[in-house]
């Protein structure tokens, strides 16, 4: 497989175009500052996030990191804490980064351009690297991305609610994986290629960023093409446990 989740981590390795990539989604640097603005006080986990990502880069032997959107948290001008977190992160990263812009990354180019870092920023509708497409998911993927063999998506932050034999429940981040259906894209684009890609919806790297409860009735997906374009998707826990159809868990 071109996209392989890293066991027990919200990250995957991707082999494409002669490179080994480490892909993550929804890093949300500076999220604690945003939560503080909303009245929620949490100590910063910036150092922990950075160390987890750096360890994954070393563990995977990645040539490049691809962030599937929402590298930052503030939708507009980044908070000072977010700028400081990103500065420390890029000072520590020893590999180039490709950022597929997400809906929270509106003003990040100015911040990233001030850093002495090798960063490529692509539009939110995505980019194709070899046979693999990358998009955030808050908007429709570009037709060229839809021509890929596999498409990696963020934005959704999928989580499942699990219940034990005595009625206790817990929330777990999850992967979604399935075959894309062409029909929703045919309704959006005048010309769209045959869509034969598998799609992988990534769990959020940031465990404080909430998520879509994919197996709870009444919850709605965030991406404009989900769940219709991925009706047969299965859910997997971070440890690799296969749960089956996400809506039957």
Residue-wise pLDDT for 171-220, tens only, equals: 899 999 999 988 888 888 888 778 888 999 999 999 988 888 998 888 88
What percent helix, strand, coil does the chain show, rounded to 5? 25, 30, 50
DSSP lists the bridge partners of residue 174 as 237
What single DSSP character describes residue 150? Answer: E
Contact predicate 175/152, CB 8 Å: no
Q: Please report where in the chains the tokens 């520590």 appear, as a residue.
A: 92
User: What is the per-residue pLDDT across 58-98, written as a single tens digit (0 to 9) for each?
Assistant: 999 999 999 999 999 887 777 788 889 999 999 999 999 99
* Res 108: pLDDT: 83
The predicted pLDDT at position 59 comes to 94
Q: Which residue, 86, 90, 96, 69, is CA-closest to 33?
A: 86
What are the tens digits of pLDDT across the range 115-158? 767 899 999 899 999 999 999 999 999 999 999 999 999 999 99
Structural domain spans, the chain: 3-248
pLDDT of residue 165: 67
Return all residues near 164 (Cβ < 8 A) that are at least 6 apart.
Answer: none
Nearest to 99 by CA among 164, 111, 144: 111
Q: Which of 71, 61, 18, 98 is nearest to 209 (CA)?
A: 71
157, HSE (Cβ side, Cα atoms, 13 Å): 20
Q: What are phi and psi of 86, to 5 degrees?
A: -65, -40
pLDDT at 77: 76
Distance CA 1, CA 57 (A): 19
pLDDT at 187: 82
pLDDT in tens, 9-67: 999 999 998 999 999 999 999 899 888 877 888 888 999 999 999 999 999 999 999 99
């Amino acid at each position: 497989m071109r996209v392989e989740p890293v066991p027990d981590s919200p990250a995957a390795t991707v082999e494409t175009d002669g490179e080994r990539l480490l892909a993550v989604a929804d890093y949300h640097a500076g999220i604690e500052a945003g939560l503080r603005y909303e009245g929620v006080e949490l100590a910063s986990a910036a150092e922990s996030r950075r160390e987890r990502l750096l360890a994954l880069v070393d563990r995977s032997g990645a040539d490049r990191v691809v962030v599937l959107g929402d590298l930052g948290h503030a939708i507009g001008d980044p908070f000072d804490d977010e700028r400081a977190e990103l500065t420390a992160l890029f000072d520590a990263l020893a590999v180039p980064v490709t950022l597929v812009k997400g809906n929270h990354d509106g003003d990040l180019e100015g911040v990233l351009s001030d850093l002495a870092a090798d960063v490529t920023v692509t539009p939110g509708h995505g980019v194709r690297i070899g046979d693999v497409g990358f998009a955030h998911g808050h908007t429709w993927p570009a037709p060229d991305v839809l021509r890929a063999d596999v498409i990696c998506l963020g934005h959704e932050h999928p989580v499942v609610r699990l219940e034990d034999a005595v009625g206790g429940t817990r929330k777990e981040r999850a992967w979604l994986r399935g075959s894309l259906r062409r029909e929703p894209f045919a309704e959006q684009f005048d010309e769209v290629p045959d869509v034969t890609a598998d799609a992988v919806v990534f769990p959020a790297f940031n465990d404080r960023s909430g998520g879509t409860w994919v197996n709870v009735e009444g919850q709605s997906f965030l991406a404009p093409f989900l769940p219709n374009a991925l009706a047969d998707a299965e859910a997997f826990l971070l440890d690799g446990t296969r749960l089956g159809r996400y809506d039957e868990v």
